[in-house]
Chains A and B, each alone.
Chain A
């Protein structure tokens, strides 16, 4: 009895292994064929720069390398300034920036391609009557200088300020655009995901928070900033101020495999990926 059982186990196991080998082998073969069909796309691309663009570049690179197995893309961080420098010096094939270039950085043979926008909505509870805040007011709220809604024209109630954790890209963008290098008060409530911020604001009628534009839902209300509604088209035309462009920089017009990659990023598929990851597509 025992002997037979063992034998059965062995048979089943070996069947598993054989089928695994077969499936694995087939998969490899298919990939090889596909690469042959794409003919020619080989090479290495180095992308360096903004840590806010980095996660997007990584996802895009991953997909591109999947489609073109002979292309190797290295994505590095370092910050927008470093990305610009690297693009000028040629240390990186593509420099990534999450801010507009300053006057002295323009020129130098750099070609800017805006690949997407990043928009941040300022949200309050739907029960809150406030529907417009200025950037100064938002900054003062997050600095802890304004602590009551009546100071910005609302009811007499303390403001519950909700914020993302240190290191979050959304917080980084918010600090950059709204806080103007001043530190967010350490009294604020910290939530570590966009969803958690939204639900904290949805649950507390005195709360304020900020989330990526794509995370807006009808349980929270996005306020106008300086009178402009947080909408994709207002971000694209530049009137909504709490937004920033994601820019790829190349030394001269992109060519070869770099051009192929940027074309892929701007293609419907690439833009869809950006949108899924939380950016506002350019197209």
Chain B
């Protein structure tokens, strides 16, 4: 090592043992290779950022002109969507996206949270492993398969037992709920596991039962992680397209019950992209722009809530 003082200096300056050739005890040619590897890694990272920037730019460039033409409030809140007659209002779809997502969260969050607590605190190792692999399986199923399942099983079930056409907010909420369960379970389970062991030990030492400790100490301490889980689940639900298109019926109305069909923003894009041209196509890009802003806002909420959670934890 002493033979390569330059390498050593650089290594120290970066504070990263892996970035320097000296770490592997090889001779100078390796150092050259390392430099190449660094450059390639740097290049792929920049390509990734460039790709994101280009996509953002593209969506906005295609969408903004139509929003400007229609007027932002009119585009977002008008409920009339008749693109072949130049009526572009995505109000019904905004409501649709929110209704389906909220419906999914309503049952998937409690169920997911309880499963996560069970897996982290109560379940024996064997049960936990089996559950874990099932959840991984659930996460790996392609969305079109969920959609197909919804179309073949959930929609007819709703139609036969609750009435209506079956293609409804309810069907979408059921399918989306199943789809976001793995996200909610995995992230909140990790958050619960990350709560320092002393919290639980102290709580138990003070005479609290295991269940009291879970509800009063562990879950509140894991709150920020659980919020992240919910928000990420929500992001997945809002962005999901294929499964939703297949089960929600896609009517452009403000729903009057959970059995009423709705169209979400993502569905709108995928439904009409095939034949859209001119302003119609621009309106679909504009729908994408609104969706994009929506999801960026969601991500901001995650970051802010996570930071707030950390601050609270340190108090």
User: A residues near B, CB below 8 A?
Assistant: 77, 158, 160, 165-169, 172, 183, 186-192, 196, 199-200, 203-204, 206-207
For chain B, the bracket of interface size reads 20 to 34
Q: When the two chains form the complex, which single residue of A77, A183, A191, A192 contacts B274, counting CB atoms closer than 8 Å? A: A192
Roughly how many angstroms separate A54 CA and B176 CA in the complex, as a whole number?
Answer: 38
Per-residue contact bits, chain B 133-157, to A (CB 8 Å; 1 contact, 0 not): 0000000000000000001100110
Q: Is there a chain A Cβ closer than 8 Å to B306's Cβ?
A: no
Find B165's partner among A77, A167, A169, A204 (CB 8 Å cutoff): A204
Given A165-B272, A166-B82, A167-B275, residue A186 in contact with residue B159 (CB < 8 A): no
Partner among A77, A189, A206 whose Cβ is within 8 Å of the Cβ of B167:
A189
Which of the candidate stretches B58-66, B232-240, B243-251, B291-299 sits at the interface with the other chain? B243-251
A189 contacts B159, C-beta separation under 8 Å? no
Contact B253 A166 (CB under 8 A): no
Instruction: Decide yes or no whether B220 CB sits under 8 A from chain A.
Output: no
B189 at the interface (CB under 8 A from A): no
Q: Which of A166, A188, A190, A207 contacts B84 (CB 8 A)?
A: A166
Cross-chain contact B82 with A187 (CB below 8 angstroms): no
Contact among B155, B164, B263 for A190, CB-based, below 8 A: B263
| Interchain CA distance A183-B83 in the complex, whole Å | 12
- Chain B interface (Cβ within 8 Å of chain A)? 81-85, 92, 151-152, 155-156, 159, 164-167, 245-246, 249-253, 261, 263, 270-272, 274-277, 280
**CB <8 Å contact, B166 and A204:** yes
A207 to chain B: closest residue by CB: B165
When the two chains form the complex, which single residue of A166, A191, A200 contacts B83, counting CB atoms closer than 8 Å? A166
Q: Could you tell me the distance between the alpha carbons of A206 and B156 in the complex, rounded to whole angstroms?
A: 12
Top 4 A-B pairs ranked by shortest CB distance?
A: A167-B275, A190-B250, A160-B165, A189-B249
Complex Cα distance A256/B81, Å?
A: 46
Q: Which residues of A contact B83 (CB under 8 A)?
A: 166-167
Give Cα distance in the complex from A166 to B245, angstroms: 15
Across the interface, which residues of B come within 8 angstroms of A167, CB to CB?
A: 83-84, 272, 274-277, 280
A207 to B249: give the CA distance in the assembly, Å. 12
A189 and B250 in contact (CB under 8 A), knowing A167-B83, A204-B159, A204-B166?
yes
Is B250 a contact of A168 with CB atoms below 8 Å? no
Which A residues are in CB contact (< 8 Å) with B253? 186-187
Shortest Cβ distance from B168 into A: residue: A189
Q: Are B245 and A192 in contact, CB atoms less than 8 angstroms apart? A: yes
Contacting residues, chain A, for B166 (C-beta < 8 A): 204
Residues of B with C-beta under 8 A to A206: 165
Q: Which of B156, B165, B167, B263 is most buried by chain A, counting CB atoms within 10 A of its CB?
A: B165
Residues of chain B contacted by A203 (CB below 8 angstroms) = 151-152, 155-156
Inter-chain CA distance A168–B275, complex, in Å, is 6
B205 to chain A, nearest CB (A): 60
Q: List 12 A-B contacts (CB under 8 A).
A: A165-B271, A166-B82, A166-B280, A186-B92, A187-B253, A189-B167, A189-B250, A192-B271, A192-B274, A203-B156, A204-B159, A207-B165
Chain A residues with CB under 8 Å of B165's CB are: 160, 189, 204, 206-207
Given contacts A165-B275, A167-B275, A188-B251, 4 further A-B contacts (CB under 8 A): A168-B274, A190-B252, A190-B263, A204-B159
- Complex contact B261–A189 (CB within 8 A): yes
Q: Determine whether the beta carbon of A191 is less than 8 Å from that of B276.
A: no
Q: A160-B165, A183-B82, A189-B167 are in contact. Are A169 and B275 (CB under 8 A)?
A: yes
Cα A45 to Cα B130 in complex, Å, equals 66
Whether A186 touches B274, Cβ cut-off 8 Å, given contacts A166-B83, A167-B83, A204-B159, is no
User: What residues on B are CB-neighbors of A166 within 8 Å?
Assistant: 81-84, 272, 280
